[in-house]
Amino acid sequence: MKVGVVSFPGSNCDEDALLAIVERLHESAVLLWHKDHDLQGADVVILPGGFSYGDYLRSGAIARFSPIMQEVVAHARRGGPVVGICNGFQIACEAGLLPGALLRNVSLQFRSMPVTLRVETTQTVFTHAARTGARLTMPIAHGDGRYTADAETLARLEGEGQVVFRYIDAHGEPTEAANPNGSMRNIAGVCNPGGTVVGMMPHPERALEPLLGSTDGLVLFESLLTSVKA
């Protein structure tokens, strides 16, 4: 498996995503410069966290016009796996790869803290190796994470199993108190109809070392292996 991690001007989790693939999965990974037009043969593309192009206008709004994104969108349209994390999720939504949008946190505060997620479906390239209902703890770090979509889109996402992760409390319930940004239905991540494009606000690449408090992100990256090799 070869993973391409896009570096936008302002990306700051691209190296972490790269290390996740190289050091934890022992697979190959390359950084893809935003001005390039070449995915360098990557089987999987990761749109990492951080910022992009100053996030002028709206988070991710300008990044989607970068040269590399034309290739990423074409890759996704061919059914190629794409994972958007945090700012990468915002970019994937702006690029039309995923439905909905990410708005300012309801608290208006940047939230940097561990959260607990429930895996809602394993029918995606990024949750294939997990268990439905599994609880994963990993950090969030965002100011614009409030997932929003119109009622019709939400109903479709729920009905078609496209809600991938929800924020839950200690009892495993998706309560308002467990929701760090006010997202609709406590949604933390969604996928496209085929489960080949996944976007999430939390950072699994920051949950791979016991020293950092959690290794729960590993199962998500391992899912890429089974998805690509299957």
Q: Residues interacting with another protein, by CB under 8 A?
A: 57-58, 61, 93-94, 99-101, 103-108, 146, 148-150, 182
Please choose, from the candidates 87, 73, 99, the residue with its C-alpha nearest in 3D space to the C-alpha of residue 163.
99
Task: Return the bridge partners of 209, or none.
Answer: 214
Does the annotation count 205 as an active-site position? Answer: yes
| Residue 127 CB, nearest approach to another protein (Å) | 24
Active-site residue identified among 13, 86, 93, 191: 86
Give the nearer residue to another protein in terms of CB position, either 5 or 63: 63
Nearer to another protein by Cβ, of 19 and 101: the residue is: 101
**Can you tell me the distance from the alpha carbon of 92 to that of 10, in angstroms, rounded to the nearest whole number?**
16
Q: Residue 126 corresponds to which tokens in the numbers above?
A: 């990024």
Q: How far is the CB of 70 from another protein (least distance, A)?
A: 15
Cα(137)–Cα(169) distance, integer angstroms: 11
CB closer to another protein out of 10 and 182: 182
Residue from 84, 110, 8 nearest 53 by CA? 8
Q: Note if 13 is an active site residue.
A: no
Alpha carbon of 60 to those of 69, 95, 124, 130: distances in Å? Answer: 11, 8, 23, 28
The least distance separating another protein from the CB of residue 151, rounded to whole angstroms, comes to 10
d(CA 189, CA 84) in angstroms, rounded, equals 9
3-state class of 168 per DSSP? strand
184 contacts 102 by C-beta, under 8 angstroms: no
Q: Please give the structure tokens belonging to residue 215.
A: 């290794």
| Nearer CB in complex with another protein: 40/107 | 107
Nearer to another protein, 57 or 74 (CB): 57
Q: Which structure tokens are listed for 218?
A: 């590993």
What is the sign, positive or negative, of the torsion defined by CA atoms of 91, 203, 116, 2? Answer: positive
Q: Annotated catalytic residue: which of 75, 128, 142, 203?
A: 203
CB of 103 to another protein, least distance (A): 6
Taking the complex as a whole, how short is the minimal distance between the CB of residue 108 and another protein, in angstroms?
5
Residues involved in catalysis: 86, 203, 205
